Structure 1
């Protein structure tokens, strides 16, 4: 068996073995498995069935990673994007008013276009057209967007008519009798945030998943002690897993093949699909380069052989996500932990994918995890992504101002696409009128992208 696996995955050629790859795959699963708890929580805000989303999440992780492993033999794992699922739920559906079925159609269309781009040189033209500082700003902005969603889901940040947003009032919750639901949830979120932060600072493997589980267990203790009192009508369900149906896998029927293409000719729909595409493209290429360098998979020129296959794998996974009922996928940055354990081939990815498939039988556990336990994961993943802001060149206003508008636009407008739009339009606008040398920085593709976004504001 080991010889067959070596022949299939070229283990010796990359200086690894079956045991190392399997252990690396297990490590990658532990670090990335939090998406099984977070993704249903985020996507169900649209009205989607959380059980169906859970099953779809596990299947997308398995099938997408399987495709990636077979096409590339790289140790990369595909999971639903924790930025694009937020855009899907909170911007496209709750913000813009589209149905989740229409949003799924945009996901599928994005996957098709992504596949076509992966087969042509247009992939490189679009990616290279965006200035480096804007690429950093997009990553940082998505991090801030995820962070504010995590803070909102935790209950710590609430809406305020006077100041737009405000912090949760513990004295107020004690006065109105909501401390045993909303109040204790915020306390547990803060405790979980500190615990997860400590685990991350100490480089504990699986720190995010461990943080979620520890916070959830503390919540269960509070429920058993009477500090947390379930109130489903107010959105505070019991924290105890419901095993009344055994370990049956939740049906995927509520979300399977529910894509609605009736708005495909609308400009707004096309802009949404374009925003999914643009974000997926930048996220995928950047992550592949970063993980590829960590796994010593780049050549002497810094290029990754077989990157087209990796891009194709990402696009196929996204199309699968649209069909099954899920958000667009991305290459999980958390699998860097598996690469650090020595994972170098598709066998590591395949191991992680199989573990995601088996996790479907643990749905009562993952679906019982509350939002206050998953919110710290969103905030801390957001903090990791936001670190890209340090790479922006703030010494050049023609670069820093568009970058700033891009990354602050996402959380303040509560939309990834608005941040990208502000960044691209301002970049073209500022550099166009700052002399010949600045105009040289604007590629023809940037003019096209700016025109598309301006057209969006004029017509929508």
Structure 2
């Protein structure tokens, strides 16, 4: 009696025919088809379906988890509301308008991100690029702030073009493998560094003229007025980490809410005598009320629930005559490449943390370009409203860690920013001591893939390490990517003569980088041919 055929008995190379009525996806054949396929210029909107909206079932998520993750992401990003207004307010004398523009641009960017790409990424005016806008373009170059906003508009426009034709996706693919992996870990260290500082975090690290940074000592309340904030931050950190270990849903959100309520309650109760006064290093209990006011001391607590918001002075203030100034275009292209590298690095790192990349580290085709386009459109709209470049935030990883896997997370972040427009007085008072510990935890969790770097391979390890350390040490994601990539390129160029002497392909690493299969060496081909000739003829079937 013959045995019935099983799946294991079928040849490995036999293709299963496609079901009737359905066609197998056609593999690209011509060079042009391969280019289009690699660039991923064809959008993918399959998540906009009624059967499985936003691929909740496919990505094993649910509405509640996405809403909670979006809330966590928003709370870790909420500091941008007062920070961006204060920073741009140095050169734009309309802080209230800037705050509304910040929230509105972030809202639109997040909604576009969720709807177009189905990625759980939050967007807002970027830290670092807003400092470049203020201190370099306006104060150093002497360009009026209206012209600077015009430069942001043009950079966003070029950004959109590069996104739609797929060149930004191409940039991700041509980064050396070690650099690609190191970007995520580098951003994690960057987030942790931000979270440890006083202005946006736990106040454990302060500046030192000799060593650049040091521990904020002493750690006793009697000797250091900032110790109270530091210890409450540590409590939030330990509480959140413990809940994560116990797999408590929404652990980061619980930690942020706990720290915020403690700080608010203490500030309302003690007012000028609060133990949680900011800024770091400027306040101490020996100062009287006048001295505290002169030092700009304050504690985080809302004094109003909401207020009417509008933009009167920063919307649509473009100066098109600025295009005649060569310095204007230097600003445009500096903003452009900085945003490309910053957002690309963040995209890759957060997507990898969420499990969206394939075995080769590629982002999903058709989704990546739409995500980049959402980023670019948000920058264009933000410049029209009166804020600097909008970019994808590394803090999005906090929502991913909390379970966010679809565009609903991004949409939730956008809705929170919409709510923040009238409720900015309430939401902008989340103290750094509550959000800083979450950034540190997220930074630690982003080290997950660092062991994938081939540390035994110097050609991969050293450029990866350069990327890893330059991101936090230069306080700039773009500089880390540039440093690591150029390190790799220079090494490969210097190794070319050695490879030629050894009769090896001098471009082998570049070919691998661009996905070109290297040809076998002549010696290998000859050896293979000799083996085939000496092999016995196949037996007759």
d(CA) in 2 for partners of 1:420 and 1:347?
A: 30
2:191 aligned residue:
146
Q: SS state of the match for residue 369, structure 1? A: coil
1:37 aligned residue:
78
Q: CA deviation at 1:274?
A: 0.6
Deviations 1:213-244 (A, max 9, x none): 2112222344325552644543431332111x
Q: CA deviation at 1:443?
A: 6.8
Aligned positions of 1:241-280 closer than 5 A: 241-243=302-304, 246-253=305-312, 256-257=315-316, 265=328, 267=330, 270-280=333-343
d(CA) in 2 for partners of 1:443 and 1:249?
A: 58
1:329 aligned residue:
391
Q: SS state of the match for residue 159, structure 1? A: strand
Q: CA deviation at 1:165?
A: 1.4
| Bigger CA radius of gyration | 2
TM-score, with structure 2 as normaliser: 0.65
1:157 aligned residue:
205
d(CA) in 2 for partners of 1:269 and 1:438?
A: 37
Residue 12 of structure 1 is aligned with which of 46, 51, 63? 51
Q: SS state of the match for residue 375, structure 2? A: helix
d(CA) in 2 for partners of 1:306 and 1:53?
A: 31
User: Contact 2:101–2:382 (CA<8 Å) still a contact in 1?
Assistant: yes
Aligned positions of 1:82-231 closer than 5 A: 85-89=126-130, 93=134, 101=145, 107-153=152-198, 154-170=202-218, 174-175=222-223, 179=225, 182-223=226-267, 224=269, 226=273, 228=275, 230=277, 231=292
User: Contact 1:50–1:367 (CA<8 Å) still a contact in 2?
Assistant: no
State whether structure 2 residue 98 is matched by structure 1 residue 59: no
Q: CA deviation at 1:104?
A: 5.5
Q: SS state of the match for residue 34, structure 1? A: helix
Deviations 1:11-43 (A, max 9, x none): 2256769xx965354223322221452222543
Q: SS state of the match for residue 203, structure 1? A: coil
1:449 aligned residue:
none
State whether structure 2 residue 448 is matched by structure 1 residue 425: no
Provide the alpha-carbon RMSD of the alignment.
Answer: 4.0
User: Contact 2:356–2:364 (CA<8 Å) still a contact in 1?
Assistant: no
d(CA) in 2 for partners of 1:162 and 1:218?
A: 35
Deviations 1:71-124 (A, max 9, x none): 45x36454227xxx3322566656896689577666544432331122224234
User: Contact 2:84–2:102 (CA<8 Å) still a contact in 1?
Assistant: no
User: Higher RCO, 1 or 2 (CA under 8 Å, sep at least 6)?
Assistant: 1
Consecutive unaligned residues of structure 1, counting only runs of 5 or more, are 1-6, 447-460
d(CA) in 2 for partners of 1:443 and 1:112?
A: 32
d(CA) in 2 for partners of 1:8 and 1:196?
A: 33
d(CA) in 2 for partners of 1:208 and 1:257?
A: 38
Residue 376 of structure 1 is aligned with which of 431, 434, 437? 437
Consecutive unaligned residues of structure 2, counting only runs of 5 or more, are 1-45, 278-291, 500-504, 515-541
Q: SS state of the match for residue 206, structure 2? A: strand
d(CA) in 2 for partners of 1:338 and 1:382?
A: 13
